[in-house]
Every structure is written in C-alpha cells, then in structure tokens.
Chain A
Amino acid sequence: MDLAMIADSIIVKVILSIAGVMIVFTINALFATWLERKVAGHIQLRLGPMEVGFHGVLQGAADGLKLIAKEIITPKGVDKKLFALAPYLAFFPTLLMFVVIPFSDKLQVRDLNIGLLYFFSISCIATIGIFMAGWASNNKYSLMGAVRSIAQSIAYEIPIILSILSVVIITQSLKLSEIVSYQSKFWIVLVQPVAFVVYVISAIAELNRTPFDIPEAESELVAGFHTEYSGMRFAVFFMAEYTNIFLVSAMATTLFLGGWRGPFFPPVVWFFIKTYALVFFIIWVRWAFPRLRPDQLMSFCWKFLTPVALLNLLITTFFMKIF
C-alpha cells in the first residue's frame, strides 16, 4: 500500500483526527490558562506566573501535575456515581464540538451538513453535567449554583441561536465550510454587527464567566457547582471551561470574522490569531467588571438581548426577501 492509500483509509483518518483534536485541546488548555493569568496579572499591576519556564509558560503543566497528584475527595452523603460522572459529562461535549470547527480549508474533522446545529446541540449537554454535579454534591451552595446555571443556560441559549440564525439566513447554509467560503469578499460581522455583539455577550454568559459568573459566584456560593470537587475532577471542570472559551471564540471567528481567511499567513495561523483575539477579549472583560445579580442577568437576557436578537433576525429576513 502506498502512502496515499494509507492516508485515505478510514481508520487512519479517525486516529489522526483524534490525535489532532487532542493536541489542539491540550495546547489550548495550557495556553489559555497561561494567557488568563498573564493578562489578569498585568491588568492588576503584577506580573502573573514567572517561575516555571519562560515568563511562566509552563505554569499550566505544573498545576496540572499538582492536580493529578492530589487526592480525589468524595464527601459523605454524595451520590457517588453521579458525582464521579458529572465532570466528564461536562467535559466530553467540548471534545465533540471540535469535530466541526474548520481550522483551515482542509483541516476539519467532519464537514457536516448541519455543522452549526450540531455544535450548539452538543454544547447543551455540558449543562446536564453541571446540574448533575450540583445535585450529586449534596451541598446547598452546589445546588443553588446548579439551579442558577440551568436558568442561565436556558435563557442565553435563545439569543445565541437567534443571532446565529441571522447568519444562517444570509449564508443560506448550516455547513460551516460554506459559511466561511461565503465570507471570501467580506466578513459577516460587517453586515451583522448586532448579531455579533449579541453572540459574544451571550457566549460569555453561556461560559459562566464574569460578569455572568453567577453559578460559581465565589462570594455568595463559595464555588457554586464545583464546591465539593477536588483534584483531577476539579481540573476536568476547569479544562472544560477553558476549552469552551476557545470553542465559542472559534465559532465566532468562523461565523462572523471570516474564519481562516486572511492574507500573507497560512489559514491555520489566521484562524488562531482571530480566535485568540476573541479569547483575549473574553479574559479582559472578566477582569474589568463585577458580577451581575441573577435577576438582573435574567431580565437583561429576556427583556433586552432576546428582543434585540429577534428584531435583528426580522430585519435580516426582510432584507434578504427584498434583495
């Protein structure tokens, strides 16, 4: 068998894809945590990690090793099976979501017809993991964090879907490669600025990050749904969070910022530049704002974001019908 045939065989493709996803995932988990701590440090008049590696680049690896070495504590009175399962249920959807991300014109695990729909449906599963964690922990803080998380996820899913629907109406496709190729002349953000803003705000809320981090509001709920978690199980929640930041940024890049398109550099480089610019923005927001109150968060979603997204969708549909 020659090389081309080997590369063509389905098993090799699957193995390569899994390896690729794992590499991107690992590098992102290390880089995003490092970036967060560095950006936070410099915003807060300090340096951030400096000891492990050049300017602390390997701090994430050191922390990972520490967490692996730690004992996994299962408190009394927890539902053991659910308690153990929950972190992985929150985590695995993030790996599955990598499947449809077009890193470049060739680098995409599967170019599904309904890629966009697939991405957002899978992302909903993580919420079940969070609720499971809060429920199984047998802790009031965890339970309240989980309840808040559910309410928030349901609320913010709607403006997200409405905003991406506007994009879908323009591009007439749910296939991510087609959405990117539609943007060969101009970025969709230019014609859909409102949808972009709504998407980014809702995405931050969906990620449970400040100013929308009420499910894990540490001053009220200690640590929210992961109060009782320690060691690697905690790390898994943590990795899921940072992978999710990357994924929503990657999706925003694909939908609004022209995906991997760009001059001079290879497509993959452009993709990562745009994605990490958004990741940086999300980190920046976290360190600049306090936290909203749950009821303010809800009214902001239902009384402002959703109507705006809906109106935007109506206007988009109207113009698409005329022109």
Chain B
Amino acid sequence: MDTEKHVLKDFYVNMGPQHPSTHGVLRIVLKVDGEKVMSSETVLGYAHRGVEKMAESKTYIQMMPVMDRFDYVSSMLFEWAYVGCMEKALGITPPERAEYIRVIMAELNRIASHLLWAGAFLLDLGAFTPFLWLFDARERIMDMFEEVTGQRMTNNYFKIGGVADDLTPEFFKMLDEFLNMIRKRMADTETLIESIIFLERVKDIGFISKEDVINYSLTGPVARGSGVNYDLRKNEPYSIYTRFDFEIPLGEKGDCYDRYKVRMREVIQSVRIIEQAVSAIPEGPFAEKAPKIVKLPEGEYYFAVETSRGLLGVYLVSDGSANPYRFKLRDPAFSNLSILDTMLPGNKISDVVAILGSIDVVIPEIDR
C-alpha cells in the first residue's frame, strides 16, 4: 500500500464558535499535528451587531444601556468610560459622593470580573471546585448590585453628573460582610488552586515579551503580567483615584501564571481601594443636575478608563446634534486577542485553552 497517500497531513480542529472553552462565540481554527498546534486562525464576527454604526442613529442617552452590553461582566466600567466622555464634553463635574460611589461600584465590578475569570480559567484547566468557591463570592457582589441598581448585570447605573440612585444602608451592611470574607476566600482559593498540577499547566506557557506588549498595544493584566507597569488609575488618574493608596501588581516573565497571579493580586488591591473609599465617603448629593436632552458641543472627545481587561477608550465626534456623529470604542479585549495567533503555534491543544483563558476575552466586546 502506498503509505504516502494515507499520511494525515492537514488536520484541522475547530475550537468554537460553539465550544466549552471559548466562553462565547469565538472561533479558533487550529491546524494540528497530533496534539501539537501548527498554526491557528482566529475568526471573529459571530456576535457582531454593528453597534458603532447604530450609535449614530441613537441619542446620547439611548446609548447608555448599550454600553452595558459590550462587556457584560464589568458593565459599570464601560458605563463610566462613556459617561466620563460626555461629562468631559459638557463640562460637568459629578459631586464628591458620586465619585466615591463610582469608585466603589467600579472596583466591585472589577473584583466580580476577576473572580469570574479565575473561576472560568480553572474550569478550562479541569478544576471545578475553585469556580464555585469564587462564584459564591461573586454572587454576593451581584446581590449588592441588585440592592442598589435593581440589576445583577447590565446595571445602567451611571448617568451624566453622577449615579442613578444613592447607596442604601443595606448595601453597606452587605459590603461589610463581603469585605470580611473576601480576603480569606481568596487566600483559601489560591491554596486550593496552586497545586503542582496547576503550576505545571500554566508556568512557562504562553510568553508575551515586553516588546510585544507595546507592539500589539496590549493593556490590562495581560500587559502587567509581562511587567509593563501601565494602569490608567496610576498613569493618567481619572476621577479620584489619586486619593487612594494601592499598588499595581506586576508579573515578571509574562507567562500564563504571571497573568493569573496579577489578577488574583488585583482583587486584593481593589478590596483595599473599596475599604478606603467606604471609610472616606462624604454625605451629600449623589448626582449633579444634567440636561434632559444631551447635545454635545461640536468637537471630538476622548475619555479612557481602566477596565478589568485593560484600557477602554471612548471616542465621540459631535456635530452639535442630538446624535453622535461618530462613536468609537478602543476596547481592551480586541487588542489583547490580537496576539493570540502568534502565541499558539508550537503549543499543545491543551495549552490553547490555558493561553486563551489567560488573555481573558469577552466576545460581545470584541464583536461590536
């Protein structure tokens, strides 16, 4: 028999659009040789809704709920970027209390996002228990959001000049309980997670060099995992972040383990910020008076915040009418995903889920 004919040359495996480890409708076409990945191609667009075009036919306020639907696990940070951009254009400064409320909510949302990420990452690696341990903690954050905003996700809580509603005493009680348990829960979970098998799976896998971070415009924990000290909260402080004492955790080597560790340590730093904010929060109004119909003065406006995945920039061009002339997002997950195809070749199929997981993408944010 002619063996040449029967050699399996190009064996393609589709990861996604429906696949347990892509967490959404991302598709990665892997060309494999046995277990080894020869090349990969990321295919986007399965959740494309044309939101940036849609924004041009909506009023500024009508876009507010849509902001929640990009990154549904850290929606308030997206609201903040959009609201912040409009406030910058209108020249409105939110009252002190509103700034504190925003910081508390944003950091809670960051924690929730990181907890979800860590759980899902470990689930991809085959460990089920950390997922539920962390989800128990995340559930408490969701309860707090529900108490204040009426929604567990897609909160639509920020508005021009402040927030939609004041924090309730019940919220502070829940927050207190949460802050009491989260440090121990994180320590316990890290002990559970960091078994030798986990370390073998994530250490020295999926390196990103400092140069690549800059060349590919990576931000957030992915960049900080490679040791690039870039966090908007420190580098270009917005709102009242200068008042808080917190650190920016950095990795050294830039492998999956460093990115995991950076996120776990960021949770603790966010807890520190919340603790300081709660003890310093002033009394007063929670929102400034804002115009009912928003019309931005003619011009271009840009505002950026640090979301749980990195730098999120909102760019608005106004022609003075009630609709934006152009609405553009610079979102972190899209840029972060761009490096994936260069990282995968040479790794095993099992590493693909670890690397993809460590980049932390949310699909609706990428497919706008």
A and B co-occur in one complex:
yes
A214–B125 Cα gap in the complex (Å)? 10
A46–B353 Cα gap in the complex (Å)? 27
In the complex formed, the residue of B with least CB distance to A222 is B20
Residue in contact with A288 in the complex, picked from B124, B195, B348, CB distance below 8 Å:
B195
| Contact A220/B350 with A45-B136, A288-B195 known, Cβ cut-off 8 Å | yes
Q: For A288, list chain B residues within 8 Å (CB).
A: 127, 129, 192, 195
A220–B123 Cα gap in the complex (Å)? 11
- In the complex, what's the smallest C-beta–C-beta distance from B317 to chain A, in angstroms? 42
Q: Is B183 an interface residue (CB 8 A)?
A: no
Q: For B349, list chain A residues within 8 Å (CB).
A: 144, 220
Residue in contact with A222 in the complex, picked from B19, B124, B126, B348, CB distance below 8 Å:
B19
Contact with B along A259-303 (1 / 0, CB 8 A): 000000000000000000000000000011111111110000000
Residue in contact with A219 in the complex, picked from B192, B195, B348, B353, CB distance below 8 Å:
B353
User: Are the CB atoms of A290 and B195 closer together than 8 Å?
Assistant: yes
User: Are the CB atoms of A46 and B132 closer together than 8 Å?
Assistant: yes
User: Are the CB atoms of A290 and B21 closer together than 8 Å?
Assistant: no
Q: Within B1-51, which residues are at the interface with A (CB < 8 Å)? A: 11, 13-14, 19-21, 35
Q: Is A248 an interface residue (CB 8 A)?
A: no
Interface centre among B129, B192, B352, B353 (most CB of A within 10 A): B129
Contact with A along B74-87 (1 / 0, CB 8 A): 00000000000000
- In the complex, what's the smallest C-beta–C-beta distance from B300 to chain A, in angstroms? 43
User: Are the CB atoms of A210 and B129 closer together than 8 Å?
Assistant: no
* Other A-B pairs, 20, CB within 8 Å; known A210-B127, A220-B349: A45-B132, A45-B133, A140-B14, A211-B197, A213-B126, A217-B350, A218-B20, A219-B20, A219-B123, A219-B126, A220-B352, A220-B353, A289-B198, A290-B122, A290-B126, A290-B198, A291-B197, A292-B201, A293-B351, A296-B200
User: Are the CB atoms of A294 and B126 closer together than 8 Å?
Assistant: no
A173–B367 Cα gap in the complex (Å)? 66
Q: Is B128 an interface residue (CB 8 A)?
A: yes
Contact with B along A128-162 (1 / 0, CB 8 A): 00000000000011001000000000000000000
Q: For B128, list chain A residues within 8 Å (CB).
A: 40, 44, 287
Q: Within A218-246, which residues are at the interface with B (CB < 8 Å)? A: 218-220, 222
- In the complex, what's the smallest C-beta–C-beta distance from B15 to chain A, in angstroms? 8
Q: Is A50 an interface residue (CB 8 A)?
A: no
Q: For B13, list chain A residues within 8 Å (CB).
A: 140-141, 144
Closest 4 CB pairs of A and B: A291-B126, A290-B127, A44-B132, A219-B21
Q: Is A43 an interface residue (CB 8 A)?
A: yes
Q: For A217, list chain B residues within 8 Å (CB).
A: 126, 350
User: Are the CB atoms of A289 and B348 closer together than 8 Å?
Assistant: no
- In the complex, what's the smallest C-beta–C-beta distance from B23 to chain A, in angstroms? 10
Contact with A along B101-134 (1 / 0, CB 8 A): 0000000000000000000001111111100110
A287–B129 Cα gap in the complex (Å)? 6
User: Are the CB atoms of B197 and A292 closer together than 8 Å?
Assistant: yes
B residues sitting closer than 8 Å to A (CB atoms) are: 11, 13-14, 19-21, 35, 122-129, 132-133, 136, 192-193, 195, 197-198, 200-201, 348-353
User: Are the CB atoms of A43 and B129 closer together than 8 Å?
Assistant: yes
Q: List 11 A-B contacts (CB under 8 A).
A: A44-B128, A44-B129, A140-B13, A144-B349, A211-B126, A288-B129, A290-B125, A290-B127, A290-B195, A291-B201, A296-B200
Q: For A46, list chain B residues within 8 Å (CB).
A: 132
Q: For B192, list chain A residues within 8 Å (CB).
A: 288
Q: For B20, list chain A residues within 8 Å (CB).
A: 218-219, 222
User: Are the CB atoms of B127 and A295 closer together than 8 Å?
Assistant: no
User: Are the CB atoms of A44 and B197 closer together than 8 Å?
Assistant: no
Q: Within A11-45, which residues are at the interface with B (CB < 8 Å)? A: 40, 43-45
A288–B33 Cα gap in the complex (Å)? 32
A210–B127 Cα gap in the complex (Å)? 8
A213–B201 Cα gap in the complex (Å)? 14
Interface centre among A217, A222, A288, A293 (most CB of B within 10 A): A293
Interface centre among B127, B133, B136, B353 (most CB of A within 10 A): B127
User: Are the CB atoms of A290 and B350 closer together than 8 Å?
Assistant: no
Q: For A45, list chain B residues within 8 Å (CB).
A: 132-133, 136
In the complex formed, the residue of A with least CB distance to B350 is A293
A289–B195 Cα gap in the complex (Å)? 7
In the complex formed, the residue of B with least CB distance to A286 is B128
Q: Within A170-187, which residues are at the interface with B (CB < 8 Å)? A: none
In the complex formed, the residue of B with least CB distance to A296 is B200
In the complex formed, the residue of A with least CB distance to B195 is A289
- In the complex, what's the smallest C-beta–C-beta distance from A113 to chain B, in angstroms? 41
A289–B192 Cα gap in the complex (Å)? 8
User: Are the CB atoms of B197 and A289 closer together than 8 Å?
Assistant: yes
Q: For A289, list chain B residues within 8 Å (CB).
A: 126-127, 195, 197-198
Interface centre among B125, B126, B192, B200 (most CB of A within 10 A): B126
- In the complex, what's the smallest C-beta–C-beta distance from B344 to chain A, in angstroms? 13
Q: For A290, list chain B residues within 8 Å (CB).
A: 122, 125-127, 193, 195, 197-198, 201
Q: For B127, list chain A residues within 8 Å (CB).
A: 210, 288-291
A46–B128 Cα gap in the complex (Å)? 13
Q: For A210, list chain B residues within 8 Å (CB).
A: 126-127
A45–B201 Cα gap in the complex (Å)? 26
- In the complex, what's the smallest C-beta–C-beta distance from A194 to chain B, in angstroms? 19
- In the complex, what's the smallest C-beta–C-beta distance from B31 to chain A, in angstroms? 12
- In the complex, what's the smallest C-beta–C-beta distance from A27 to chain B, in angstroms? 26
- In the complex, what's the smallest C-beta–C-beta distance from A210 to chain B, in angstroms? 6
A292–B14 Cα gap in the complex (Å)? 22
A290–B11 Cα gap in the complex (Å)? 27
Residue in contact with B348 in the complex, picked from A44, A140, A141, A295, CB distance below 8 Å:
A295
A10–B21 Cα gap in the complex (Å)? 55
| Contact A294/B132 with A211-B126, A288-B195 known, Cβ cut-off 8 Å | no
In the complex formed, the residue of A with least CB distance to B32 is A144
- In the complex, what's the smallest C-beta–C-beta distance from A154 to chain B, in angstroms? 16
Q: For B35, list chain A residues within 8 Å (CB).
A: 294-295
- In the complex, what's the smallest C-beta–C-beta distance from A109 to chain B, in angstroms? 37
- In the complex, what's the smallest C-beta–C-beta distance from A131 to chain B, in angstroms? 16
- In the complex, what's the smallest C-beta–C-beta distance from A270 to chain B, in angstroms? 31
In the complex formed, the residue of A with least CB distance to B131 is A44
